[in-house]
Structure 1
């Protein structure tokens, strides 16, 4: 029985594409505009050829306040978190979809937020 399980893992492994990063020196007015950020992530879902399940956005307060936007997609998610005090955002785009393009979503969001600099990382998320 365990050899069958190993065989299934080897032939039917799930491969995910994970693009994530840090965005620095962004206009704080943009970082605190919940509606703009919500629509930005919504458009990124389309650009990446993902299928939206639900999207939520909210402001969070305190000294390190900002906005969070989470798009749940059939293939996985897009998460954007901003901190206006630091002119900073983190972006996470993960998909298991064979036809979706997380890098396109990441690059689109970066192009609209216009950070002075950013870091982008890629991880192959697979079962092997």
Structure 2
């Protein structure tokens, strides 16, 4: 397998509802998690639902972090996909600590494709990505 990234899929619970319903707290936790994960922020979107709940997505140079909260259950779901460099597990540790989740389950998925899926000459031509921004 040609690994191109690591994807963490997380369920966390027993977190204080007031933290999970605070969009600014979620924003700060994501910014701190991005720093802990040694990632590069491109864009951040945080949305407060009514009567409760927050969804936030961080677009990263390395891919993304997304979090969705259910304050009424003390629960949040997150996924962190990092390709190339970065430390997604460190980012997740920071999120768990910042949002005070007492329990967490994390699944780690190696993302990629079989080396035989793309002809060798195409792999060589497309092995360098440029930032066009």
Q: Report the TM range for the smaller structure's normalisation.
A: 0.7 to 0.9
Confirm or deny: 8 A CA contact 2:56 2:66 kept in the other structure.
Answer: yes
How far off is 1:75 after superposition? Answer: 1.0
Question: C-alpha displacement at 1:60, in angstroms?
Answer: 1.4
- State the Cα deviation string for residues 88-126 of structure 1 (Å, max 9, x = none): 1001110112x2111110111111112121111100011
1:107 equivalenced with 2:96 (yes/no): no
Structure 1 stretches (4+) deviating beyond 2 angstroms? none
- Report the TM-score when normalising by structure 2: 0.80
**For 1:15-55, what per-residue CA distance to the aligned partner results, in whole angstroms no more than 9, with x for missing partners?**
11011210111100101110011011011111111111100
Q: Is the Cα contact below 8 Å between 2:3 and 2:110 reproduced in 1? A: no
Equivalent residues in 2 for 1:1-128 (5 A)?
Answer: 13-62=2-51, 65-97=52-84, 99-128=85-114
Between the two proteins, the alignment pairs up a number of residues equal to: 114
TM-score (norm 1): 0.83
Instruction: Compute the displacement of 1:68 (Å).
Output: 0.8
Q: CA RMSD in A?
A: 1.4
Point out where structure 2 has 5 or more consecutive residues left out of the alignment: 115-133
5+ long unaligned stretches in structure 1: 1-9
Q: Helix, strand or coil: the match of 1:78?
A: strand
